[in-house]
């Protein structure tokens, strides 16, 4: 009887040992698979091509809108798993130009508008020659970061983000709308400022090359 009891006990111990071993193997396999999956997510860094543009649009309420572009001075971004994980972008405010129809300039040349926009009435370009955006977080379709204009920084979000990577080249685009008043972009002529829309619309179009 004792022999039979010992035999059953031994079989139970062997069974438990085998189960434990199996669980360890499964756990180990699962861990290795997770590590393998993590290894497939790579980060790639790109340098911004300074031919990239920010398209801008500012409106006079109920009248018309002015449009134009600003060029990039420098910048870089890192893509991880198809999403921007890091990035700093700097634009040259002195590169501002208009792309409006000529009909809007029958009374005054384009240069007069640009000179006014670059003056202390608006962007104070001589004092603040650059504006920048620093990435803080991102999802597949948006990027949130710190926008700095005229030395004032606020958190803003770029929406409708599209990214395409191909052979060491990257193209990306997105939209950003900000309230000019929170950056101190206020025309000193109060009556004139009242007819200007507070929202300035930007369309960012980036080109970049793998570092």
Q: Which of 187 and 167 is assigned the larger pLDDT?
A: 167
Task: Convert the pLDDT of each residue in 113-146 to its tens digit.
Answer: 999 999 999 999 999 999 999 999 999 999 999 9
CATH assignment at residue 107: 2.40.128.110
3-state secondary structure 163-202: EEEECCEEEEEEEEEEEHHHHCCCCCCHHHHHCECCEEEE
Q: Look-up: residue for tokens 């059953």?
A: 8
Lowest mean pLDDT among 19-28, 78-87, 143-152, 170-179: 19-28
Q: Do residue 95 and residue 197 come from a single domain?
A: yes
Judged against a pLDDT cut of 80, whether residue 74 lies above it is answered with yes
**Strand (E) or helix (H) holding 122:** none
Whether residue 33 sits in one domain with residue 59: no
- Say if residue 47 is in the same domain as residue 26: no
Tokens of 173: 């685009």
Using the predicted structure, report yes or no on whether residue 70 has a pLDDT greater than 70: yes
Instruction: For residues 154 and 96, state if they share a domain.
Output: yes
What would the mean pLDDT of 63-89 be, rounded to a whole number? 95
Q: What is the pLDDT at residue 77?
A: 97
Which pLDDT band, with edges at 50, 70 and 90, does 3 fall under? very low
Both 71 and 91 in one domain: the answer is yes
Q: Are residues 101 and 167 in the same domain?
A: yes
Cα 187 from chain centroid (whole Å): 29
Q: What is the pLDDT of residue 21?
A: 52
Q: Which residue has the higher pLDDT, 149 or 121?
A: 149
Query: What is the per-residue pLDDT for 103?
Result: 83
What pLDDT does residue 60 have? 78
Tell me the pairing of strands 130-138 and 199-210. Answer: unpaired
Higher pLDDT: 29 or 162? It is: 162
Kindly state whether residues 36 and 48 are assigned to the same domain. no
> Which parts of the chain are beta strand (E)?
43-48, 53-59, 65-80, 83-98, 130-138, 143-149, 152-166, 169-179, 199-210
- If asked whether residues 118 and 159 sit together in one domain, one would say yes
Do 60 and 195 touch, CB atoms closer than 8 A? yes
**78, 121: one domain:** yes
- Percentage of the chain modeled with pLDDT above 70: 78
pLDDT of 42 above 50: yes
Q: d(Cα 10, Cα 4) in Å, to the nearest integer?
A: 10
For residues 16 and 62, state if they share a domain. no
| Domain that residue 34 falls in | 1-40
Predicted structure pTM score: 0.78
Stretch 163-174: mean pLDDT, rounded? 96
Which whole number is the average pLDDT over 48-56?
97
Structural domain count, the chain: 2
Q: What are the backbone angles phi and psi of residue 169, rounded to the nearest 5°?
A: -110, 150
Per-residue pLDDT, 19: 47
pLDDT above 90 covers a percentage of the chain that reads 67
Same-domain status, 174 and 94:
yes
Rounded Cα–Cα distance for residues 16 and 45 (Å)? 51
Q: Residue range 148-152: average pLDDT?
A: 98
Residue in 175, 134, 174, 170 with CA at minimum distance from that of residue 43 = 170
């Amino acid at each position: 009887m004792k022999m039979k009891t010992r035999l059953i006990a031994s079989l139970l111990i062997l069974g438990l040992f085998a189960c434990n071993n199996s669980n360890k193997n499964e756990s180990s396999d699962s861990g290795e698979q997770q590590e393998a999956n993590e290894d497939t997510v790579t980060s790639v860094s790109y340098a911004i091509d300074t031919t990239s543009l920010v398209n801008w649009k500012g409106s006079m309420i109920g009248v018309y809108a002015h449009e134009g572009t600003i060029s990039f001075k420098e910048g870089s971004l890192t893509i991880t798993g198809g999403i921007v994980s890091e990035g700093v972008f700097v634009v040259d405010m002195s590169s501002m130009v208009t792309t409006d129809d000529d009909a809007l300039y029958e009374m005054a040349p384009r240069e007069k508008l640009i000179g006014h926009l670059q003056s202390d009435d608006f962007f104070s370009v001589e004092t603040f020659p650059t504006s920048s955006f620093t990435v803080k977080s991102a999802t597949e379709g948006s990027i949130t970061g710190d926008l700095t204009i005229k030395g004032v920084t606020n958190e803003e979000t770029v929406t409708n983000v599209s990214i395409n990577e191909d052979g060491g080249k990257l193209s990306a685009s997105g939209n950003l709308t900000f309230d000019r008043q929170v950056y101190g972009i206020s025309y000193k002529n109060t009556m004139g400022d009242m007819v200007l829309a507070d929202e300035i619309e930007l369309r960012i179009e980036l080109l970049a090359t793998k570092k």
